[in-house]
Amino acid sequence: MKFILEGLTKCVPRIGALKEIEAHPGLSIETPMAMLYTRGGSIPHITHEVFKIISKEPQIIQIPMVSTYHYQEVMEEYDGNISEFVGLKDCLTCVSVQDPGDLTQPGHHAKDHIPLWTRSGKVLLNAEQYMNTVEAFKPDMYYFLSDGDTNAKSATKRISKSVENTVNFFKICLDRHRKSEVLKNSFVLSAIAGGYCTKARKKCINEVTKDDIVKGVLIDGLHNNGPEVEFIAFEEPKSIVEFIVNYLPEDKMRVVQGCWNPVVILKLVRMGIDVFDTSYCNLVTERSSALTFNFDNVSETQQYEINLRQNQFADDFKPIIENCACLACRKHTKAYIHHLVTVQELLGPLLLKIHNNYHFMKFFEKIREAIRNDTLKDLEDVVERQFMAHQRMLLNTKATN
């Protein structure tokens, strides 16, 4: 698998593509794009059968190790790869370490290990154990193990240790990758640790990007994952992301994980980030909401998000969005979904998740179109107006109550 750019650029929006994919000859997946967020190898609320109905093209599914670590023993005996095991054999897989949709508990460090908070409790994982699991999974893509337990408030000692651990993990993972017949065709991404310290980031970049085996990088350690990422102001990571992107080799694919809201995603795309994930869609679905922000006509705005639990939708017999082609909007009304989420029927979050994932993927199609048409700033402005209006409405509602 190769990552090919339309032009080699630094801190500017760019179009790229993953091509020459062994399992899917002729397939090209364009960036900027979002990997499909999973837990335990399954897209939350969406069954494999429903996914086959709503998704006609191969997607990249994100497989967090924290929710699939317990699969290792059976995968070692299974004659197949992780995508076949979880029932999504037509999808590409990318193994990550932590779950971007759940808070990664800080602390609990041990020498040469990172803590994984699995469903069975804490597991201390070193680089050799991690690579054993990756080899058992046989993914199309994977990140080298890293220590990303930093955020904007991390102390210098913690930042220094995260870089030291990540570099040590990199060396072990790289050596294992070179010797592995199973992983020889996997697309490798290294992780860049270092919190919000430019000196630490520079040191890590110098160590983990110099080998040609590394085709992409994960900018790790900007946050501790989970729902609070939605409300991180772009000004917080802006300067450190800008420094990292300007210092990176231009040809490496750049990944940022987390529940970033669409406004921050657009700003990160403008800085040259290529890949995100759909954990934000899961966050919106869990609060019984549907994404409705406008991106088709950048001269118009509409309500950014609606909560289908609100009584105002009890008699609204229109789809979530008029002319939306997702299964939820084509077949069901806001009134019906309101009923489902009110009585806690499982079909409610399923329909919301179908719509939110579809809307998010269409949003990324619009991003790629806007980059080609040089209208990305216009798109950012209209989405930001809708997002800020929604935040003001929430604050006013909270103050009234």
Of 255, 285, 315, the position where a domain reaches its end is: 285
Determine if residue 329 is labeled as part of a ligand binding site: yes
Of 262, 285, 308, the position where a domain reaches its end is: 285
> Are residues 225 and 335 located together in one domain of the fold?
no
> Are residues 267 and 304 located together in one domain of the fold?
no
Give Cα 255 to chain centroid, integer Å: 8
Query: Residue 79, class by beta-carbon neighbours within 10 Å (0-12 exposed, 13-18 middle, 19+ buried)?
Result: exposed
> Are residues 250 and 323 located together in one domain of the fold?
no
Q: Which domain holds residue 158?
A: 2-285
> Are residues 196 and 306 located together in one domain of the fold?
no
Q: What integer pLDDT is reported at residue 297 of this predicted model? A: 82
Determine if residue 91 is labeled as part of a ligand binding site: no
Q: What integer pLDDT is reported at residue 8 of this predicted model? A: 64
Q: What integer pLDDT is reported at residue 272 of this predicted model? A: 95
Other beta carbons less than 10 A from residue 8's beta carbon: 9
Using alpha carbons, select from 356, 316, 354 the residue that is nearest to residue 336.
316
> Are residues 297 and 278 located together in one domain of the fold?
no
* Domain tally, the chain: 2
Using alpha carbons, select from 164, 187, 202, 231 the residue that is nearest to residue 96.
187
Residue 72 belongs to domain with CATH number: 3.20.20.105
Determine if residue 324 is labeled as part of a ligand binding site: yes
Q: What integer pLDDT is reported at residue 10 of this predicted model? A: 64
> Are residues 341 and 201 located together in one domain of the fold?
no
> Are residues 237 and 385 located together in one domain of the fold?
no
> Are residues 360 and 217 located together in one domain of the fold?
no
> How many CA atoms does the CB half-sphere of 368 hold within 13 Å?
18
Tell how strand 275-277 and strand 289-291 pair up. Answer: unpaired
For residues 345-379, one letter each, b for 16 or more C-beta atoms within 10 angstroms of the residue's C-beta and e for the rest, the string is eeebbbbbbbbbbbbbbbbbebbbebbeeeebeeb
Of 250, 285, 320, the position where a domain reaches its end is: 285
Q: Tens-of-pLDDT digits for all 401 residues of the chain? A: 999 998 766 668 999 999 998 878 888 999 999 999 999 999 999 988 888 888 878 899 999 999 999 999 999 999 999 999 999 988 999 999 999 999 999 988 888 999 999 988 899 999 999 999 999 999 999 999 999 999 999 999 999 999 999 999 999 999 999 999 999 999 999 999 999 999 999 999 999 998 999 999 999 999 999 999 999 999 999 999 999 999 999 999 999 999 999 999 999 999 999 999 999 999 999 999 999 999 988 888 899 999 999 999 999 999 999 999 999 999 999 999 999 999 999 999 999 999 999 999 999 999 999 999 999 999 999 999 999 999 999 888 877 76
